[in-house]
Amino acid sequence: MNVISLESVDVKGKKVLLRCDLNVPIKEGVIKDDGRIRASLPTIKYLLDQGAAVIITAHLGRPKGERKPELSLEPVAQRLSELLDTPVIFSAKIVGADLSAISSGEVVLLENIRYEAAETSKEASERLILAKELASYADIFISDGFGAVHRKHASVYDVATLLPHAAGYLVAAEVDVLTRLTDNPARPYGVVLGGAKVSDKIGVISNLLDKVNVLAIGGGMLFTFLAAQGHEIGTSLVETDLIPTVKELLLRAEKLGVKLLLPTDIVVAPEFSIDAQPTIVAADSIPADQMGLDIGPESADAFAAAIMECQTVFWNGPMGVFEFPNFAHGTKVLAQALTQVKGLSVVGGGDSAAAVRTLGFKDSDFDYISTGGGASLEYLEGKELPGISVLQ
């Protein structure tokens, strides 16, 4: 995959519309993890150094076309200004903003683009009206919001069809890592998947089965696998309708000789709560009144040993309910193992990235932390990313 590089376009003295991914977790106006803002800085700084005026468009959450105050980007403008050490002008107006006076070296952040229903509309004609408005503000479009490139949205896709364009540094780096994960990855190649739902990951598991050497499954989704093997899973999360599909995947993995790792022990508790009493049980004998909330210590060690032998590792999704300290052990052991991988180690996804930071790891402990979970997974599923294709 090749994208038009930032350096190949002349941005000097130009107005640049920059799509960023600033979709950070915010609680009561306080930003909980500013990783995505930091990841956007290199491109913004480059554009400012080149003497461009930078107009940033981004989204926060899913306001579905309504002005929801709790999803305003205003706190992000302030944080961005601190990190850049430059004033960031916040424009509450998205459509009809007066940006004619913006000049070289200035930064504007437009309010949450998803306040406009047209941004995410399925109708190309509706999106195009908004895209034309955004395009009218600038001479050039730079796409750097990797977390949204799997979406055919006005500020991601349509605007690139209207203005000269290029990929920002973040998008270029993400594309480079994804290419390394898919074009001749160094072997053995291991993928670890966790998180809540099998339905989110079934496509990627299916597409990766004939490409990986090791596939380890943890998180809430592992119980659908245990159920498919005929085990009692108590009150654990399960997607019953997917049991037949999972059975097929297990058969395919066996035929292909893929080392598919499922836990042999599970940390269970009577209920889903922060102070629930944890007990370790064998994976094939979960009591009927208990739910599995983490992979057990024996399994965590086995997963860790298997991925430490790999030359390429991609990890998406926590192994358990890492937000509760009693059920964070599996995720911690896996994260620790990932830091020891000799080849390429990639943490994929906003939630997984937030998890490793919450557990006290530094970004620099891993080769690469992707900012876009959905986008990376869709690419690994073999799907086209519209926001990338339009930059090629």
The Cα-based distances of 132 to 125, 234, 293 in angstroms read: 11, 54, 48
Cα 222 from chain centroid? Answer: 20
Q: 194, 220, 350, 373: which is the annotated catalytic residue?
A: 350
Q: Which of 45, 68, 180, 197 is catalytic?
A: 197
Comparing CB distances to ligand AMP, the nearer of 147 and 318 is 318
The residue with its CB nearest to ligand AMP is 195
Name the residues that contact ligand AMP, by CB under 6 A: 195-197, 200, 219-220, 237, 292-293, 317-318, 320-321, 323, 351
How many whole angstroms separate alpha carbon 110 and alpha carbon 92? 6
Locate 294 and state its tokens: 């983490």
Residue 8, token pair as written in the block: 């190949």
Smallest separation (angstroms) from ligand AMP to the CB of 287: 15
Report the nearest approach of ligand AMP to the CB of residue 31 (Å).
19
Alpha-helix residue ranges (DSSP H) falling in the chain: 35-49, 74-84, 124-135, 169-182, 198-208, 222-228, 243-256, 297-308, 329-339, 350-358, 373-380, 386-389
For residue 282, which amino acid is it?
A: A
* CB nearer ligand AMP, residue 235 or residue 345: 235
230 is catalytic: no
| Least distance to ligand AMP, CB of residue 346, Å | 15
Active-site residue, 350 included: yes
Out of 36, 127, 152, 201, the active site residue is: 36
* Min CB(303)–ligand AMP separation in Å: 14
Q: Give the nearest distance from C-beta 217 to ligand AMP in angstroms.
A: 11
Closer CB to ligand AMP, 6 or 262, in the complex: 262
Residue at token pair 């990929």? 167
* Contact in structure between 283 and 343 (CB atoms under 8 Å): no
Q: Is residue 79 annotated as a catalytic residue, yes or no?
A: no
The C-alpha angle 291, 324, 272, rounded to 5 degrees, equals: 30
What are the catalytic residues? 36, 197, 350, 374
